[in-house]
Structure 1
Amino acid sequence: MLSPQSLSRSGTCSIEELGPRTPLYTPAFAIAPYAAYERMREGGNTLAPVELAPGVPATLVIGYHTAVRILNDPDRFPADPSTWQKSLSRDHPLLPMLGWRPNALRTAGKEHAGHRDALQTALSVVDLHAVRERTIRVASSLINQFCQAGEAELIEHFITPLVFTVLNETVGCPPASGERLRVAIAAMFEGVDTEHVNAEVAESLFELIELKRRTPAADIASWLVHRCPNLTDEQRMNQLVTIYSAGIEPVRNLIANTIRRMLTAVRYRHDNSMFTPPVRDAVEETLADDPPMANLCNSYPRQPVLVDRVWLPADQPVLVSMAACNTDPAIIGEHGWTDNSSHLAYGSGPHACPDMARKMSKQIAIEAIGHFFDAFPEAELAVSADEMPWRTGPFHRAPAAVPVAFPPTPPLIIPPAPGHR
């Protein structure tokens, strides 16, 4: 494997020369991604050649400081994938996640700025106190469905339905439409049946837009319809795709990763004789060293670009590995993070996650996890930590299942939904 210390006479090399491409979609990578990042760093590399799917090359940014520079350089690293995606078939499984859309994630320049403003406007309606109340109410209802069984698989029976329900209510989506979206967006992240998934998502969201045009309320979808008059319905639909994509998968993974951390780390156990850190600390630690979206923040250079003495080709994806960058030895030192606010779990630069979206994701995670451990302080993993399965895929980092066991518990009292929110 070539490193930047053993370059050609010109002092530079191509990304191809840094070694064989690491496939990010295999079960082997899902099981041990951090070991793979360490191998990629050999020789001081900050960039690594990878494959997102068979035959789909990309560059993975694994150095923290390099990632910050790239994320704050949208002129050389625009987020518009239009040219690149022409190299893929129309039904390629990567397109639902990475394909062009008229929204804040997949556009550049003035177009991006307009979509970003609309997204900020739509999110401004969010009431974090209402989000907290919804999360507690939904968590209580779900817990009551398995509390007397003494066991549960949390992703299926608790985490996924909680995140979908809370987000649907915050967006203003009726339960029936929300269930259709749940199935379709889950398939989107797994790269399943591309054209059907896109059509199903679009149809559900257009119905929601029309509903809010007739009967607006204090919710995200209504704000998109009535306070963003410059948007077309196509653009509104794609803004909602952004909100659902960012509001479901990352939050679900954050909750799963944090619960796993609290069930396996001695310092979080209820019988620990020392101070037990609060849930908020566990969430922040997870964001810093086991972020829920491991590799994303895509950009697509329009011409060959030189980064850390490595030439990256035009119109080929450059992904930031939040997982690798957040654990870069160049910044964390021997004792890990000392300032969790500097992590890249929410990105950086003009495409970073909006402040309200960050607050909402943390609010849902903290309340859901806290409510679970309040109900089941003696919960344990039902399998050893080494036996927990991991989801495959190049983008996320999360267990495929979180089976737990606990002493049977009486049902909780469910707080009523407040009528004024």
Structure 2
Amino acid sequence: MDVHDTAATGAARCPMYDGSFAADPQKVYDYLRAHGPAGPVELAPGVDATLVVGHETALRVLQNPALFARDGRRWTALNDGRVPLDSPVLPMMAYRPNCLFTDGAQHLRLRKAVTESLDRLNVTRIRRDVEPIAAYLIDQFSERGRADLINDYAKLLPLLMINKLFGCPAAIGDRVTSAMADMFDGRDALRASDELTACFMELVSLKRREPGDDITSWLVQHPAGLSDEELKDQLVMLVGAGVEPERNLIANSLLLLLDREGDNGPSMQIEDALDHVLLNNPPIANYATHFPVQDVDLGGVVVQANSPLVISFAGANSDPVLTSSGQAHSRGAHLAWGAGPHACPAKSPAQVIAVTAIELILNALPDLVLSVPAQKLEWRPGPFHRALATLPVQFSPTPATRMASAYGSSTAPRPAAVQQPAPAARVPAPAAQKPAKKGFWSSFLEIFRV
């Protein structure tokens, strides 16, 4: 494990952005825990933080908003110019006026709008929206007999599902999908973040004029009276909560279920597999950045005021104190959904989406198996997520007919174009323009006429 020297509590500062951390993050959690319930880390080059790995200490931070604020404008190192403005972690840590990065009355007002809008979703609605998206994606690769369940399925399904739940029309949805994919994959993340912001401002404007049966419209119509800027930032927050974590929850659970060499994965129920992943391989392993309003002692580890304090959900879940108390394997004992006033507001929809997506692909491709041993799979570097780079599988090729048969999409051929007389020889025909390539969302909408 590569570490940097630091005087803090005898622990060295551990980098969390390289391949060695991605390969074995538990080694870092165990190392820090040997020195205390929290320790020094480097989230990205030039971005220092303190990582909480103790379960009891994590709860203390999460449940005490008066002492541990979420407002990133407090961040001393960023305000002093000591954090690179092009750092890949800034979009995940810098202040936005949404219910993730606010405190007090502002947080309560914004969170009420978000939670009450999400509460309008129900299991039937979510399953109804997931099923055609899953079928559409499976049909893209079912005839090949092989797939990468990350890039072909687990990555795309939450992207398209967000478009559906937000009520995105084709043009905006294609741009949202592309920007989200670039942002979460680290491809020019700041530009992608700006594009996502522009898309959501357009979407908010559209829904003010033409409301629909979707989350964006519900937020627009909420009695809290959110401004366009506030609406845009709540949508950005929901994307952060609904895409990367959902992708990893689906993929990590599929890995567990398909690992024939694992202890009990192949015999698990899907819901049990999700709980196992949330405890042992949480999709967002380290996040919930807090900024202490004063210097604070965390079990002998002194954290300076207004410096980033990150919760390791994975580290807290693996705390031996939790294991020895017998709580670790109790359903819901993990901290993967957070705790306190900033606990994840989308816990129920996220679980329904994951269960439905996993159930549908296992039913559609019943002989699905891993193409490589589970232990040879690579994990994507990054300080916040626990994310597979790929999940290659193979199965018996299946005709791509599920969409039409199961969901009644129109398969009737379109009317043939009316033949026009050829132009006179002296008048050159206009050059044919190559049609713009459709994105996944506009292609999906065209097939399902939704």
TM-score (norm 2): 0.84
Mapped pair 1:54 → 2:45: yes
Greater shift in the superposed pair: 219-228 or 195-204? 195-204
Distance 2:64 2:50 in 1: 16
Give the equivalent residue in structure 2 for 1:407.
Answer: 396
Greater shift in the superposed pair: 379-388 or 199-208? 379-388
Distance 2:97 2:198 in 1: 16
Kindly tell me: are residues 15 and 225 of structure 1, through their superposed partners in 2, closer, same or farther at Cα, counting changes over 3 Å? farther
Distance 1:92 1:242 in 2: 19
Q: Return the offset for 1:383.
A: 1.4
Distance 1:116 1:417 in 2: 38
Structure (1 or 2) with the larger CA radius of gyration: 2
Contact 1:125 / 1:219 at 8 angstroms: preserved in 2? no
Matches within 5 A, 1:155-170: 155-170=150-165
Distance 1:407 1:194 in 2: 38
What letter matches 1:251 in structure 2? Answer: E
Q: Return the offset for 1:192.
A: 4.4
Matches within 5 A, 1:27-176: 27-43=19-35, 45-84=36-75, 85-86=78-79, 87=81, 88-176=83-171
Contact 2:179 / 2:195 at 8 angstroms: preserved in 1? yes
- Consecutive unaligned residues of structure 2, counting only runs of 5 or more, are 1-5, 410-447
Distance 1:368 1:105 in 2: 27
What letter matches 1:371 in structure 2? Answer: L
Which whole-Å deviations, capped at 9, do the CAs of 1:320-348 have from their partners, x for residues lacking one?
A: 10011111111123988331212111100
Counterpart among 277, 282, 292 of residue 273 in structure 2: 282
Mapped pair 1:376 → 2:365: yes
Give the equivalent residue in structure 2 for 1:360.
Answer: 349
Contact 1:97 / 1:189 at 8 angstroms: preserved in 2? no
Mapped pair 1:225 → 2:220: yes
Matches within 5 A, 1:390-401: 390-401=379-390
Greater shift in the superposed pair: 334-343 or 286-295? 334-343
Kindly tell me: are residues 380 and 123 of structure 1, through their superposed partners in 2, closer, same or farther at Cα, counting changes over 3 Å? same
TM-score (norm 1): 0.89
Kindly tell me: are residues 188 and 15 of structure 1, through their superposed partners in 2, closer, same or farther at Cα, counting changes over 3 Å? farther
Distance 1:138 1:215 in 2: 24
Q: Return the offset for 1:188.
A: 2.9
> What is the root-mean-square deviation in Å for CA atoms of aligned residues?
2.1
Contact 1:97 / 1:191 at 8 angstroms: preserved in 2? no
Which whole-Å deviations, capped at 9, do the CAs of 1:45-69 have from their partners, x for residues lacking one?
A: 2111101111211110001111011
Give the equivalent residue in structure 2 for 1:7.
Answer: none
Contact 2:46 / 2:84 at 8 angstroms: preserved in 1? no
Counterpart among 268, 273, 280 of residue 265 in structure 2: 268
Give the equivalent residue in structure 2 for 1:24.
Answer: 16
Greater shift in the superposed pair: 410-419 or 359-368? 410-419
Greater shift in the superposed pair: 308-317 or 21-30? 308-317
1:300 alignment partner, SS class: strand
Q: Return the offset for 1:190.
A: 4.4
What letter matches 1:106 in structure 2? Answer: F
What letter matches 1:165 in structure 2? Answer: L
Distance 2:100 2:184 in 1: 15
Kindly tell me: are residues 138 and 224 of structure 1, through their superposed partners in 2, closer, same or farther at Cα, counting changes over 3 Å? same
Distance 1:15 1:243 in 2: 38
2:155 alignment partner, SS class: helix
Kindly tell me: are residues 195 and 285 of structure 1, through their superposed partners in 2, closer, same or farther at Cα, counting changes over 3 Å? closer
What letter matches 1:361 in structure 2? Answer: A
Q: Return the offset for 1:266.
A: 4.7
Contact 2:160 / 2:177 at 8 angstroms: preserved in 1? no
1:298 alignment partner, SS class: strand
Give the equivalent residue in structure 1 for 2:419.
Answer: none
Mapped pair 1:237 → 2:232: yes
Distance 1:33 1:389 in 2: 13
Greater shift in the superposed pair: 402-411 or 239-248? 402-411
- Consecutive unaligned residues of structure 1, counting only runs of 5 or more, are 1-13, 270-275
Kindly tell me: are residues 372 and 248 of structure 1, through their superposed partners in 2, closer, same or farther at Cα, counting changes over 3 Å? same
Contact 1:92 / 1:194 at 8 angstroms: preserved in 2? no
Q: Return the offset for 1:268.
A: 3.2
2:264 alignment partner, SS class: helix
What letter matches 1:78 in structure 2? Answer: A
Which whole-Å deviations, capped at 9, do the CAs of 1:247-301 have from their partners, x for residues lacking one?
A: 11100010011011111125233xxxxxx22111111111111100000011011
Q: How many residues align?
A: 398
Identity %: 38
What letter matches 1:380 in structure 2? Answer: V
2:105 alignment partner, SS class: helix
Mapped pair 1:329 → 2:326: no
Q: Return the offset for 1:191.
A: 4.7
Give the equivalent residue in structure 2 for 1:291.
Answer: 282
Greater shift in the superposed pair: 259-268 or 50-59? 259-268
